[in-house]
Chains A and B, each alone.
Chain A
């Protein structure tokens, strides 16, 4: 069974801190990996998409990496802000499998 695991399940940090969210998956056969954020009561907003041929993608304060051999992806958030508070989800593209998410709270 295809599985995607996200660690930690929840994270609370003070404003300004750099942080890393982890996503691991079984089966190294992967077309891409996509990171989303979900605000309470809202749909998902795409943050970064890493194709299987890429090792990382960057957008502003966000950097996502992909290591197919170890079945892992990380989302790095620099200089966190209260507005970053949300649930972060990763999705393994070709199997349409989502992780359960990491609930992030950034305290001001």
Chain B
């Protein structure tokens, strides 16, 4: 079956511009996660959606970052007024109902963001 998909695969933007990154989770998965992987860094948790519950935004690095999940499926991560330090690979993952964040996560291929 189809896995997690992300678009675009690569995005180059100028400093100060806004960008939107999209994630299509596996059908039926109620939990969705966004992570960031910077060069030489580990994976950094950004935000977590579980069903209709309020998202856990505790990992978002600044108020320039926001995410939404429409209809419990597709999610969009928005970065406003991009900075060079935002350059990273943004990874999305989904899992089945996962109130305790304990179920197996399936990752998309990521979006490589480069801010020039």
Stretch at the interface among A16-24, A64-72, A96-104: A96-104
Q: A98's contact among B4, B43, B110, by CB below 8 Å, is which?
A: B43
- Closest B residue by C-beta to A36: B107
A32 surroundings in chain B (CB, below 8 A): 102
Mark contacts of A73-108 with chain B using CB atoms, 8 A cut-off: 1 yes-contact digit, 0 otherwise. Answer: 000000000000000010101111111110000000
Interface residues of A in 18-56 (CB under 8 A from B): 31-32, 34, 36, 41-46, 49, 51
Decide yes or no whether B108 CB sits under 8 A from chain A. yes
B110 surroundings in chain A (CB, below 8 A): 42-43
Docked Cα-Cα span, A101 to B41, in Å, equals 9
Q: A93's contact among B42, B48, B101, by CB below 8 Å, is which?
A: B101
Given A96-B33, A96-B48: A46 in contact with B42 (beta carbons within 8 A)? no
Interface residues of B in 95-116 (CB under 8 A from A): 100-102, 104-110, 112
Contact B108 A43 (CB under 8 A): yes
What number of A residues sit within 8 Å (CB to CB) of B?
23
Contact A89 B109 (CB under 8 A): no
What number of B residues sit within 8 Å (CB to CB) of A?
22
Docked Cα-Cα span, A100 to B39, in Å, equals 11
Contact B107 A45 (CB under 8 A): yes
Mark contacts of B67-106 with chain A using CB atoms, 8 A cut-off: 1 yes-contact digit, 0 otherwise. Answer: 0000000000000000000000001010000001110111
Docked Cα-Cα span, A34 to B102, in Å, equals 9
A41 surroundings in chain B (CB, below 8 A): 112
B31 to chain A, nearest CB (A): 11
Given A96-B48, A98-B43, A101-B42: A31 in contact with B109 (beta carbons within 8 A)? no
B48 surroundings in chain A (CB, below 8 A): 96
Given A96-B33, A97-B45: A31 in contact with B102 (beta carbons within 8 A)? yes
